[in-house]
Structure 1
Amino acid sequence: MNTLYSNSTVVPSGNANPINDHDDAGERGFDVYRAYQRALADEDISPPLAAIHSLTELVTSSNAGTMFELVRALNDGAETLKKRVPNPIGLTAGCELFIGFVTLFPHESASFSELKREIVHQGKSYTSQAIKFRTKIAELALGFIKDDSVILTHSYSRVVTQALLHAHTRKRISVYVTEARPRGLGLKTYGLLTAAGIPCTVVLDSAVAYVMDQVDFVLVGSEAVVESGGLINAVGSNQMAIIAKAENKPFYALAESYKFHRLFPLSQHDLPTHNSGILSFPHSMNRSATTQTRASPRLTDDVPDGSASASLPQRTMTLEQMNRNPDVDYTRPDLISLVFSDVGVLTPEGVSQYLVGMFAGL
């Protein structure tokens, strides 16, 4: 009964069957994507947990009468979620964990209906207990944070924010946080930390190298930790790790075990979020319009010091330009010092070994 809690999960092989008019999830009109969105409305729920929550609801709604039918319905539901979400990395990890748990669940119930009820109970229990993983990780990270530590973090992460807030109750810390353009989620982290009284400064993404020699270590969250021991996180994490390595500064990642993902990228182009439009060049450009824009005096940088900038256009990326940029990137394991998880403090090699054992059902 504790398979899901122990993370000893096997992911069933084979691709999900396409959804058809006769699938179990659809017979009662259940919308797995809507259930996923409802779960995400809770600020404490991350995409992997939202995926587990929505698949748990799918089990409740399903008319499946055999384990084969139930697993097929769950695979169909997982495939639906992956297609509906632009960045499916986190939710895929959650789907893998839950479907593997269902596949290995002991068939000791008197009836299949009772078995499904027990699966639902275990799924709900796991999602409620998994939120507490961040508390354990925060306590583990505390041992590596000394008084008067200066920490650099990137974008916004629930587990990192909780770790920093916890450290603030015990030790004196100061935090640099990147703006994390284009969404600017670093400003959310800045607001939460400063509200708690932590000295905090926002750093331009392009100023990471400028500030690196002033920090003691880097602390980032994760979208997923992959089989290589590498990290998928908000774009910019990779370049931060490269700079930290060059400056001999530790680069620590915090990750709940439900973010461990059966994926082995070798480069940025291997990520599920990558597509041909990422950082592509437009097929056609209006040369005359471009020339006119460049010649426009409103765009010149020759503005006298102290003059009002209200006459200048706002220099922010357009939606089209944002869409041409990646949301996440991949950080190689050799750039990561340690991974703090609810299953312990692991080296990247240790993460790889743990994932191999996890997916081998050990």
Structure 2
Amino acid sequence: MTRRVVILNTDIDAVVCSIERSQTLPADLEMADLEIYASYQRLLENEDLSTPLAAILALTEMMERSNAGTMFELLNELKGGAEALSRQSSNPIGLNAGCELFIEFITLFPHDAATFSDLKTELIQQGRQYAEQALTYRTKIAELAFDFIKDDSVILTHSYSRVVLQTLLMAHKRKRISVFVTEARPRGMGIKTAEKLTAVGIPCTVVLDSAVAYAIEKVDFVLMGSEAVVESGGLVNAVGSNQIAIIAKAANKPFYALAESYKFHRMFPLSQYDLPSHNPRLLSFPQSLNSTRRSSFGRRASESASTPIKITQEDIAQNNPDVDYTRPDLISLVFSDVGSLTPEGVSQYLVGMFAG
């Protein structure tokens, strides 16, 4: 695909006017931010839509509502919408991948439209068609991963992943499999996976997150979903994925990641603390504890004991991350709708995808 950045009606005065207009309408921009976030939340109610696809469709709806008169204005609005979604999400990694892909697609889209209005109509149609087609990617990935699942396989998976679930359901129709599912705290999404697998007759056991090393010897391989696959070939997924990968590597068990190509993300974290979902609040020590200790100095032991400190599961969840980063050297293969890739292959694919 040739790289084409199309700006219709591009005389200097029009560009200057569009910038001035955007600077003088902050209220409208705030309303647009609210509208796109409301669209995104509504789209996420559809069980089949993952966060990147919901973000792509939310941007498509934003484009449909847009009064932009040039491609320059439209791209600015879409980038503003993507930033608004990112700001309002505690874990923006998946939606950032979708927004990044969609904006790049808009920028490079080849067309023969005679007017900007025709071009915008075509872009809206293409955005919806892509989302519809992307819903078939899980089936492609399941078919690809199916060949790696042998009869009587014992599989370990983590948390809840639509593509992993579809792969396991497909394997169950033709092979005998058993599945260990981690509890996946703090959200406990592994229980949802276990319930769905058990409902169709797949032998399934929920494993404590802290018992993965205990269970790993019984496992043939790990099958892991993803929130994003980054430029290094590493994986961003529900917290606990990294420690499972480390344990699998130590036990010499294959670690397979499943990821739709719209989850490939141009991000290069070097550690857990490079993820955009990380903030200083996570794993922090409560400041009030020191003041409590100071104020209780000199009290009788009975007085201190009368006000015991209670730590709730909600407190623990708020002080812990939702996702973590798994290094590429811990991953055996990434199964995607574009093929089975090594982590290095993912990196090469991303370079090609965004090079035009």
The TM-score range, normalised by the shorter chain, is 0.7 to 0.9
Match of 1:278 in 2: 282
Q: Mean Cα displacement is larger for which, 339-348 or 279-288?
A: 279-288
Encode CA deviations 1:147-205: one digit per residue, 9 max, x unaligned. 00000000000100111011101100000000001110000000000001000000000
Would you say 1:333 and 2:324 are equivalent positions? no
Which residue identity does 2:181 align to in structure 1? Answer: V
Q: How do residues 87-126 of structure 1 correspond to structure 2 at under 5 angstroms?
A: 87-126=91-130
Which residue identity does 1:322 align to in structure 2? Answer: A
Specify which of 248, 252, 256 is matched with residue 252 of structure 1. Answer: 256
Match of 2:57 in 1: 53
Match of 1:216 in 2: 220
> Root-mean-square deviation (CA), in Å?
2.7
1:33–1:292 Cα change, 3 Å = farther
The Cα shift of 1:111 comes to 1.1
Tell me, yes or no, if the aligned pair for 1:36 and 1:51 is still in contact at 8 Å.
yes
Match of 2:11 in 1: none
Secondary structure of the corresponding residue to residue 211 of structure 1:
helix
Tell me, in whole angstroms, the C-alpha distance in 2 between the residues paired with 1:9 and 1:224.
Answer: 25
Match of 1:305 in 2: none
Would you say 1:164 and 2:133 are equivalent positions? no
Match of 2:346 in 1: 351
Tell me, in whole angstroms, the C-alpha distance in 2 between the residues paired with 1:292 and 1:250.
Answer: 55
Specify every segment of 5 or more residues in structure 1 that has no aligned partner in the other structure, as ranges: 300-312
Identity %: 67
Tell me, in whole angstroms, the C-alpha distance in 1 between the residues paired with 2:224 and 2:42.
Answer: 27
Tell me, in whole angstroms, the C-alpha distance in 2 between the residues paired with 1:293 and 1:339.
Answer: 58
Secondary structure of the corresponding residue to residue 151 of structure 1:
strand
Which residue identity does 1:151 align to in structure 2? Answer: I
Flag as ranges the 4+ runs of structure 1 deviating above 4 A: 8-12, 23-30, 291-296
Match of 2:245 in 1: 241
Tell me, in whole angstroms, the C-alpha distance in 2 between the residues paired with 1:117 and 1:249.
Answer: 49
Tell me, in whole angstroms, the C-alpha distance in 2 between the residues paired with 1:201 and 1:11.
Answer: 52
The Cα shift of 1:107 comes to 4.0
1:25–1:51 Cα change, 3 Å = farther
Tell me, in whole angstroms, the C-alpha distance in 1 between the residues paired with 2:162 and 2:305.
Answer: 45
Calculate the TM-score normalised by the size of structure 2.
0.88
Specify which of 19, 25, 28 is matched with residue 22 of structure 1. Answer: 25
Aligned length: 333
Tell me, yes or no, if the aligned pair for 1:174 and 1:200 is still in contact at 8 Å.
yes
Say which structure is richer in helix: 2
Tell me, in whole angstroms, the C-alpha distance in 1 between the residues paired with 2:269 and 2:168.
Answer: 30
Calculate the TM-score normalised by the size of structure 1.
0.86
Match of 1:41 in 2: 45
Encode CA deviations 1:87-106: one digit per residue, 9 max, x unaligned. 10000000001000101112
The Cα shift of 1:295 comes to 6.7
Tell me, yes or no, if the aligned pair for 1:175 and 1:201 is still in contact at 8 Å.
yes
Match of 1:308 in 2: none
1:40–1:105 Cα change, 3 Å = same
Specify which of 68, 74, 78 is matched with residue 78 of structure 2. Answer: 74
Which residue identity does 1:95 align to in structure 2? Answer: C
Encode CA deviations 1:107-140: one digit per residue, 9 max, x unaligned. 4111111100000000001111101100000000
Which residue identity does 1:343 align to in structure 2? Answer: V
